[in-house]
Structure 1
Amino acid sequence: MKTSAVIFDAFGTLVEIQQPTHPFRQLLREGRRQGRLPRADDIRTIMTHCLSLSEAALAFGIKISPSQLAFLDQCLEEELASIQPYPDAVEAVGLLQAAGVRLAVCSNLAMAYGPVVERIFPHLGAYGFSYRIGVMKPQAGIYQHTCDLLNVRPENELSGQRRIVMIGDSERCDRDGPGQVGIKGYLLRRNGDGASNLSHFARSVLSDR
């Protein structure tokens, strides 16, 4: 079956953080020191709202001093500056774009990280980021919204027409979740089972066209 569009996960698939500093995790730890217990939806709040570190602190009721905020902001800047594309991702995107395949990224992200992905891969057809859409993978809505942004219809996979595929490093979010809306998901495992390389994956997609 011919493929009309490919959707990528972002972190662990297209890009990697080479020097993680975990600024939002540090913020939540500060909240715990102040007696605020972690909540099950903390990460969801961060990733489904447009929140800076100071706005997240306010939303969680965490008190941080100007010096603490400056430190966390510096940690965030260092982490963002360390984000780099995987070489096979750059090659895969180039191959697919040259062949006219529509491309998108669909990822669970805090607000600060989206612009970095857009800067590294500036010519994708759609950017389905959770903080903009208000829904996280593996909820069906984020995949559907990404397809809407890309102007493709995933239900065509079910009708035997041109298919849409997604690839990422999470079984739950990138392999299984997309199937809810008719997208064929693939698992990326650079050091194990599944698709081991995005370049090989791209060539496989193109061999079916």
Structure 2
Amino acid sequence: MTVAVIFDLFGTLLEIRNRQNPYRQLLRIGAKQGRAASSKDMRAIMAFNGGISEAAEAFGICLSSAELANLECMLELELESIAPFDDAMIAIELLREHGVKIGACSNLAGPYCSKARSLLPGLDGYALSAELGMLKPDPGMYRSICNMLGVLPEQVESMQVLMIGDSRRCDEHGPRAFGIPGYHLDRNGAGPYRDLISFVQTVTADEHRGLHK
């Protein structure tokens, strides 16, 4: 019996239609100031619950008032462009009709958390990296959302919690290592699920169809 489904956010439930990449631009400014770039910078940003100015301070990047205003404008343009995919709300409503709890588990920077909550209100749990200070595929992310949903996969054999998202590492392999069946969503069609409707229809269909095996 499926009692809960966990969704990734960006690339799964939500899309950014006007990418501005303000945090990458912040790091470029830092590089011009002599700050050594790291492959871990973007992950650090997504585990940091603050805005542009706070991130700049944390990284030791000095911003002029004009640079800060420009970055904040870029951020606002990007936030305003975020919208649910066409199938997102339909999938959520289908699950709700079947009494399935719904959670979000996603890696995202601080300013994106409130935007995601406003676009997807009333979910049963939100495990958001900037708010928790950790990122998928850290097991703590999956444990946090399971606690919010009241389902621990290692303790309740008869109650099934599933996850789907567009990252094999974070939404398929990561949750599976924790004990949650994870499924990869490929909206380009190179996988078993290219949209959320087909996934949810399988979840809510007869258990004997074997999704969880």
TM-score (norm 1): 0.95
Q: Which runs of 5+ in 1 are unaligned?
A: none
Instruction: Kindly indicate whether residue 123 of structure 2 is the aligned counterpart of residue 142 of structure 1.
Output: no
Aligned length: 206
Per-residue CA shift, 1:60-89, capped at 9, x if unaligned? 111100111011000000000000100111
Supply the RMSD in Å over aligned alpha carbons.
1.2
Residue 40 of structure 1, CA deviation: 3.1
Per-residue CA shift, 1:146-172, capped at 9, x if unaligned? 11112211214xx64221100000000
Residue 39 of structure 1, CA deviation: 1.7
Instruction: Kindly indicate whether residue 154 of structure 2 is the aligned counterpart of residue 166 of structure 1.
Output: no
Equivalent runs, 1:42-191 vs 2, <5 Å:
42-156=41-155, 160-191=157-188
Please give the secondary structure, in 1, of the residue aligned with 2:154.
Answer: helix
Per-residue CA shift, 1:87-114, capped at 9, x if unaligned? 1111100100121100000000100001
Instruction: Kindly indicate whether residue 179 of structure 2 is the aligned counterpart of residue 197 of structure 1.
Output: no
Residue 139 of structure 1, CA deviation: 1.0
Q: Which runs of 4+ in 1 moved over 6 A?
A: none
Partner of 1:40: 39
* Letter paired with 1:79: E
Mapped to 2, the partners of 1:190 and 1:63 lie a distance apart of: 39
Per-residue CA shift, 1:11-66, capped at 9, x if unaligned? 00000000000000000000001111112331222111212100110111111001
TM-score (norm 2): 0.93
Partner of 1:208: 206
